[in-house]
Amino acid sequence: MTLAFPISDRPAADGTRSASVLARIQVLDDLAAAEPVWRRLEQAGAAATPYQRYEWVAHWYHNVGLANGAAPLIVVGLNRDDAAQFIVPLIVERRHGTRIATFFGGSHSNLNMPIWTDDVAADLTQARLRAILGEIAAAHRIDLFALVGQPPVWRGAPNPFARCRDSPPPTTSILGPSSRTSARGGRTCHRGCARKSAS
């Protein structure tokens, strides 16, 4: 199933409206269907940690996430030429009767971050991100977005999606093998930008 909805131009400080890089949002619930656009975005040099590379995400999902009942919820922001400008790689999990959207990787990833291009960063204001996630929450019955573990900056560029964070960023980032096992705790359920109950 695919959800798509348009993005309006953003208001400027003087009350006029400036053209948005984003034209529409597409939501995919099939990881394989997202692969072509995901790989094009990676090849274009979009910002991403190793935990958001398609190969890593696909390996984790097929070996861990799928067996635990996780369902893909992949948010793609497209421009007027239908070129991807960002991907938010999410899964939906049911915990204690609640539908929670969180990043692929679970406790195996300690760097969670969407993939984005430099061109779209200025468009991704907190208000716009809240509106986008609010639409998705309503359409997919999401009770909670758990967008935790995001670095505020990645390779010198601010992470625009960290504007949604209301929990502290990760204090330790591990990009290689580690003997320490990450633990899931209450922080997993910190809310992100939008909740269905608030939409």
Q: Can you tell me the distance from the alpha carbon of 104 to that of 62, in angstroms, rounded to the nearest whole number?
A: 11
Residue 127 in domain? yes
Higher pLDDT, 184 or 53: 53
The whole-number pLDDT of residue 161 equals 83
Q: What is the pLDDT of residues 104-143, one digit of tens each?
A: 998 899 889 899 898 888 788 888 888 899 999 999 999 9
The whole-number pLDDT of residue 123 equals 82
For residue 197, is pLDDT > 50?
no
Residue 177 in domain? no
The whole-number pLDDT of residue 19 equals 56
The residue type found at 91 is: I
- The count of domains in the chain is 1
Residue 165 in domain? yes
Asked if 173 and 111 count as a contact pair (C-beta separation under 8 A), the reply is yes
Average pLDDT over residues 164-189: 43
Q: What is the pLDDT of residues 10-25, one digit of tens each?
A: 444 444 444 568 889 9
Domain that holds residue 121: 2-7+20-171+183-198
The whole-number pLDDT of residue 56 equals 96
Residue 15 in domain? no
Cα–Cα distances (Å) from 79 to 8, 34, 153, in that order, read: 12, 16, 24
CATH number at residue 65: 3.40.630
For residue 175, is pLDDT > 70?
no
Residue 13 in domain? no
Ordered alpha helix ranges (H), the chain = 31-43, 54-60, 126-140
Q: Is 23 left (phi over 0), alpha (psi -120 to 50) or beta?
A: alpha
Q: Can you tell me the distance from the alpha carbon of 5 to that of 46, in angstroms, rounded to the nearest whole number?
A: 23
Average pLDDT, the chain: 78
Residue 70 in domain? yes
For residue 196, is pLDDT > 70?
no
Average pLDDT over residues 140-168: 81
Average pLDDT over residues 28-56: 94
C-alpha atoms less than 13 angstroms from C-alpha of 152 in its C-beta half-sphere = 7
Residue 176 in domain? no
Asked if 134 and 146 count as a contact pair (C-beta separation under 8 A), the reply is no
Please give the biggest Cα pair distance in the chain: 54
Q: Can you tell me the distance from the alpha carbon of 80 to that of 40, in angstroms, rounded to the nearest whole number?
A: 16
Higher pLDDT, 6 or 190: 6
